[in-house]
Structure 1
C-alpha cells in the first residue's frame, strides 16, 4: 500500500507557479526538458525538512508558509530604486553588474570597456539560445537531489554569465549586485555561471539586499568552473531585508594547481541558507573558505558545506565564525569527503560560535568521510559566551563594558575579514561589522 505525502500550501503554490511560469521562462526544447526533469524531482520530495539529514537544522517546509508569485520585470520605478540603493563598494572602482528583482539590467550595469578576454551577458540570453541550464563540465558536483537546487533549475529565469579567457588576469573586481526593490512580497529565482579559464584570475563579489518588512523569497545559484592554474576570489555578502527568506547554492568545480578562495558574510534576512558544493578535481589545488554570521532578533542562518577532494595533494581550510544575539540561531554543517586516490590530502575545518544571550543557539555538525590512507584531516567546533576575564581585563583599563564587548567581538570576527585579499573588501566588511555592533542595544 503506497503512502501519499501531503503537500503543504507552499508546495502546492510552487507547483502552480511552475505550471504558469514554464510558458514564458527562457529556453527552447533542451532547456525546457531540463526544467521539467528538475521540477519532477522536486515534486517527488517537496520542500526540505528536518528528516532530511542535510536540512535537519533548517526545516524549510515549516519555515516557508506559502509560495510568492514571481517578481515582474523591473519597470522604470524599480530601476530608479535600484540605482539609488546603497552600494557597499561605492567608490571602490569595481565593475558593477545589476540584477534587479531577478532580472539582469544592462543599462544599470558597467559593461563599457571590457578587458580583453572578458565577456559578460545575461543568463536569459544564454537560455534563449537553448544552451543547457547546467554546465556539463560540473559533472557530479551538482547534487541533483538537493530540493532547493532542483527548484532553482526549474524556475531560474535570469542571472549573469561571466567568462574569463585562459591566461587573463582581471585587475578590476566584478561586483554582481542583487537588489530587490518590490515591497509586495514576491519570489526570485536566479542562476549565474562564471567560467575562469586556465591560468586566469578574477575576483567576483556577490551582494544581496532588499527592503525590510517584506517577506520576499530568494532562491539563487551560481556555478563556478575554474581551470587549471587559475585563481578565483569569491566574496558573498548577504544583507537581505528583515523578513526575507534567502537560499543560495554555490557550485564550484576547480582544476589542478588552482587557488580557490571563498568568503561569506551574513547580516540580514529572516531565514538564510548558504550552501557550497565544492569539488577539487585536479591535483595540487588549494582552497581557503571562510564565513561569518552576525545574527540578532529571531534570525536563522545556515552555512552548509560539502567539499570533495577528488585528486591528490590538495589542501583545504574552512573557518566559520558566528556571533549570535537575542533568540537568533546559527547553523554550521561541513562535510569533507576524500575520494579514493586523493592521497596527500590536507584538510582542516573549524567552526566557532559566540553566544551573546541565554536564548541564542548555535548548532554545529562537522563530518569527515575518508577513502584514502595517506591524508591529514581534522575538524573542531567550539561554542561559548564572551570570555569574562578578557572583558574584565579591558574594563580594568578604563574601557566601558559595552565597548569592551564590542572589541572582543571585533577580534573574534576579524580573522574571517582578514581572509579577504582586497583591502577595499576588508574595509567594507569592517564597516558592516561596526554598523551591526552599533545597532546592538
Structure 2
C-alpha cells in the first residue's frame, strides 16, 4: 500500500531544471525498470519542481534557500580519501557498506559477519546479479507521483544499497550503512541514493545508518528507502545525521509491515543546515507493529523537520511514536505526525507524543499532530508540548555548587534520556548517547 502524505499542489516547476542532471554514466540503467523509473521521475519532477510552503505538508519547511543554490551532481569519489568512519561497535569489524557522495566504495566496505541467506550489496551490482529482486520492489512503496523529492531521487537514481534477509534468518551483527558527503568547491553537490530493504518471513536484522560530512562544502543529500517487512519479521532501523551546517539533508522512508511483523525506527538529527526526515509506515497485515521515534537537537540557524505517517490498514495493529527535541539560538524545528486508522483496522492501538525544549527566546517549534480515525473500536492518543528548562531544577543544581552550563547540560541530557531509551539495542543506544553528549559539550 502506498500512503499519501501530501499532494503536489504548492510545488514550483520553475526550480526543476537546476536539479535535473544529465543521465550519462548512470550504470544502474542496465535494467529496464530503472530506466523507466528515471524517466517517470524526471517527467514528474520537471512538471512540479520543489515543493513550496503552499503545500500543507511543507507548510513549516521552506526550500527557498535550497532553490537558490548552484546545484551540480557530486563528482567521482572513487579516489577521495576518507577519515575515520563512524561505527556503533566497540571492537571488531562487521558488515558495512560505505558511500562517498552517494557512490559505493568497495574498498571501504566489508561483508564480514553476514550469515548465509543474506544479500547485502550496492545497487549496480544488484541490478546486474539480482535483477528480478530489484524489478519486483523498486518504486513499489515510494511513489514519485505525489512526492516531488522522491521524483527527484528517481530521476537521478545512480547508486544505493540492496539488503535482503532470507526467511527465518537472524543477523546477529548490526549492519551499518555509512554515507559520507565531501562535496565540491563552488557548487552544492547533489546525490540521490536509493535503498531497497526486504526482510522475508520470520527474519530479524538491525540496520544502522550514519550520515556525516568530511569538510565544510555544501551538499544536497536526497535519500529514499523502500522497506518491506515480511510476516513475523523484525527490523530495528536506527539513523544518525551529523552532516555539516552548510548541507541540505532530505530523506523519505516508506515501510510496509506484514502480519505479525515489526518495524522499529529511530532517527537522531544533529546536523545539516536544513533537514527533513519523512517516515511512512503502513501496517498492511494483522497484528503488525511499528515503533517510530527519535531526537532532534538544533542550534544556530538550523532547521529540522520530522514528518511521519502511520497507516493502520488491518486489525489489531500497534504503533508507538515518541520524539523529543532541543532547540537553541535561532533554530527552528517542525513536527508533523499523522496516524490513520482505516475502517477495517478495528482493535488498533496507536500513541503519538512530541515534546520540545526551547533554550532561547528566538527558538521555534511548529507542531501538528493529527489523527484520522475511520474505525470505532480503537485506542488512540496524541500529545505535543513545548517549554523551557525548569528554573527550580536549575536553581537546585546551582545551589549544590554546579556551574550554570554544567547544570543546563545535565537537565538537557535528562530530558533526552528517555527517548534514547527507545533504542532497543544497547550498543547503538550507547553510541547515540555519546553523540548527544558531544553535542552538549560543544554547546558549552
Please, what TM-score do these two structures have when normalized by structure 2?
Answer: 0.91
Which residue of structure 1 lines up, in the alignment, with residue 4 of structure 2? none
Which of 14, 20, 27 is 2:19 aligned to? 14
SS of 1:331's equivalent in the other structure is strand
Cα deviation code 1:182-223 (max 9, x no counterpart):
343411110011111111100000110113431111111111
Which residue of structure 2 lines up, in the alignment, with residue 203 of structure 1? 206
1:331–1:186 CA distance, 2 compared to 1 (3 A):
same
1:140–1:121 CA distance, 2 compared to 1 (3 A):
closer
Which residue of structure 1 lines up, in the alignment, with residue 352 of structure 2? 349
Which residue of structure 1 lines up, in the alignment, with residue 26 of structure 2? 24
> For 1:64-213, what aligned pairs fall within 5 Å after superposition?
64-76=67-79, 78=80, 80-81=81-82, 84-89=83-88, 91-93=90-92, 94-112=94-112, 114-127=114-127, 135-136=136-137, 139=140, 142=143, 144-184=145-185, 185-213=188-216
What CA distance in whole angstroms lies between the structure 1 residues aligned with 2:12 and 2:427? 50
Which of 422, 426, 436 is 1:423 aligned to? 426
SS of 1:21's equivalent in the other structure is coil
Which residue of structure 2 lines up, in the alignment, with residue 216 of structure 1? 219
Across the aligned residues of Structure 1 and Structure 2, the Cα RMSD in angstroms comes to 2.0
Which residue of structure 2 lines up, in the alignment, with residue 399 of structure 1? 402
What CA distance in whole angstroms lies between the structure 2 residues aligned with 1:233 and 1:135? 23
What CA distance in whole angstroms lies between the structure 2 residues aligned with 1:70 and 1:266? 24
Residue 114 of structure 2 contacts residue 173 of structure 2 at CA under 8 Å; is this kept in 1? no
1:389–1:181 CA distance, 2 compared to 1 (3 A):
same
Residue 298 of structure 1 contacts residue 327 of structure 1 at CA under 8 Å; is this kept in 2? yes
What CA distance in whole angstroms lies between the structure 2 residues aligned with 1:181 and 1:143? 27
1:196–1:310 CA distance, 2 compared to 1 (3 A):
same
Residue 366 of structure 1: CA displacement? 0.7
Report the more deviating stretch, 210-219 or 406-415.
210-219
Which residue of structure 1 lines up, in the alignment, with residue 5 of structure 2? none
Residue 139 of structure 1: CA displacement? 4.7
Residue 208 of structure 1 contacts residue 237 of structure 1 at CA under 8 Å; is this kept in 2? yes
Please, what TM-score do these two structures have when normalized by structure 1?
Answer: 0.92
Which residue of structure 2 lines up, in the alignment, with residue 298 of structure 1? 301
Which of 359, 363, 366 is 2:362 aligned to? 359
Which of 223, 231, 235 is 1:232 aligned to? 235
Report the more deviating stretch, 417-426 or 271-280.
417-426
Residue 140 of structure 1: CA displacement? 5.9
Residue 360 of structure 1: CA displacement? 0.6
1:148–1:141 CA distance, 2 compared to 1 (3 A):
closer
What stretches of structure 1 of length at least 5 have no aligned partner?
Answer: none
What stretches of structure 2 of length at least 5 have no aligned partner?
Answer: 1-10
Which of 367, 384, 389 is 2:387 aligned to? 384
Which residue of structure 2 lines up, in the alignment, with residue 257 of structure 1? 260
Cα deviation code 1:327-372 (max 9, x no counterpart):
0001111111111100000101111110000111111111111111
What CA distance in whole angstroms lies between the structure 1 residues aligned with 2:395 and 2:365? 25
Residue 49 of structure 1 contacts residue 62 of structure 1 at CA under 8 Å; is this kept in 2? no
What CA distance in whole angstroms lies between the structure 1 residues aligned with 2:201 and 2:139? 15
1:135–1:253 CA distance, 2 compared to 1 (3 A):
farther
What CA distance in whole angstroms lies between the structure 2 residues aligned with 1:133 and 1:21? 20
Residue 311 of structure 1 contacts residue 342 of structure 1 at CA under 8 Å; is this kept in 2? yes
Are residues 1:40 and 2:43 paired? yes
What CA distance in whole angstroms lies between the structure 2 residues aligned with 1:311 and 1:386? 41
What CA distance in whole angstroms lies between the structure 1 residues aligned with 2:133 and 2:164? 16
Are residues 1:432 and 2:435 paired? yes
Report the more deviating stretch, 27-36 or 258-267.
27-36
What CA distance in whole angstroms lies between the structure 2 residues aligned with 1:96 and 1:312? 37
What CA distance in whole angstroms lies between the structure 1 residues aligned with 2:13 and 2:286? 45
1:139–1:162 CA distance, 2 compared to 1 (3 A):
closer
